[in-house]
Amino acid sequence: CSLMSTRVEPEVLLERVGCAGVITINRPKVLNALNLSMIRQICPHLQKWENDKETGIVIIKGAGGKAFCAGGDIRAVTEAGKAGESLAEDFFREEYILNNAIGKCLQKPYIALIDGITMGGGVGLSVHGRFRVATEKTLFAMPETAIGLFPDVGGGYFLPRLRGKLGLFLALTGFRLKGRDVQRAGVATHFVESKKMADLEKELVDLKSPSAEGVSRVLESYQNQSGLDAEKPFVLEKHLSDIDRLFSSGSVEGIMQNLKADGSEFANKQAEMLSKMSPTSLKVTYKQLQAGATLSLPDVLVMEYRLSQACMRGCDFYEGVRAVLVDKDQSPKWNPSTLEEVSDQMVEQCFSSLGDKDLAF
């Protein structure tokens, strides 16, 4: 009977297993991209588990073995923006409220098993939690400047808190980190081999009196058994002092000048990457991280919500999504097309209050 095969899989699974509330992002065909209906299911469960005596920990993971969550379903967002539909507001608003709820999840240890692709919106589902476990299959990036957006979902909070100028470098270039390097950069808290993840999860849900200390002990014991790639140095190790020097400038133009003047292979490669990004996005991102360095996570998300709506009013986000996700010609026509043409006033405007439409916690 053909009716059986058309049963629709739920996009997110929310289950109580042992002492744990377990969230499984379940859209493997689209690399577990996060949409509004998933956000609306996860949020109330997180609240419920936070207040529930029976639930000791929360675990979030992705189905299908390839991705944890490759990002938000932003194609739907740009389509809504063009049509003037409310999804363009609702998606960012509710996603950021979820990001903040994860950051506030302090009574119950929150453990993200980021085994696979973890980018953009997927980073927002993991990085603000207490524990983030990477594997050799983890691929991390905040690639938003390439699509005319900015590293949102609290990027303005966690990126400037990485060592030196590493966060600004990752934010502007969209540089990808793999495996153990995700932990070395400070994005993950632990590294465990992928084949041990099922056993690790079982041990976590079976904890008799779950606590942050208990979770820590389990994660450390699995990390200690995971020697894979331990001898390989951090991919950016030899570039960290260069990154700190080259990305220390009062402006994005200054960073570009530093990179071009440096002339090393690494600097040339980064200058080339930045030249492909939306000039508006680069300047907005620079200011976002500068401001975010001294703000709380909720205040960062209020700022980022303003920025998200500025992107919806502008043109680069639509053009970036077209070039990268829709037509896939990889040649966006940015407007303005140069850094020099993006005035301070244009950047400032992106940060201005939305009045009663501001995000409020």
Q: Provide the annotated active-site residues.
A: 72, 121, 144, 152
Q: Which residues pair with 61 in a beta bridge?
A: 24, 113
- For 118, 242, 256, the CA distances from 98, given in Å and listed in that order, are 17, 36, 35
- For 15, 52, 65, 255, the CA distances from 203, given in Å and listed in that order, are 16, 21, 20, 47
Inter-residue contact 98 to 91 (CB < 8 Å): no
Output Rg (C-alpha) for the chain, integer angstroms.
20
Q: Which two tokens stand for residue 75?
A: 């194609």
Q: Which residues pair with 59 in a beta bridge?
A: 22, 111
Q: Provide φ and ψ at 191, rounded to 5°.
A: -130, 125
Inter-residue contact 121 to 153 (CB < 8 Å): yes
Residues 69-95 as b/e (b if ≥16 CB within 10 A, e otherwise) read bbbbbbebbbebbeeeeebbbebbbbb
Closest residue by Cα to residue 108 from 198, 42, 197, 46: 46
Q: Provide φ and ψ at 131, rounded to 5°.
A: -125, 130
Element (H, E) at 12: strand 12-17
- Number of alpha helices (DSSP H) and beta strands (DSSP E) in the chain: 17, 10
Residues 278-314 as b/e (b if ≥16 CB within 10 A, e otherwise) read bbbbbbbbbbbbeebeeeebbebbbbbbbbbbbbbeb
> Is the link from the previous residue into 336 a cis peptide, with omega within 30 of 0?
yes
Note the helical H segments in 19-104: 36-50, 74-83, 87-104
Q: Which two tokens stand for residue 64?
A: 């299908």
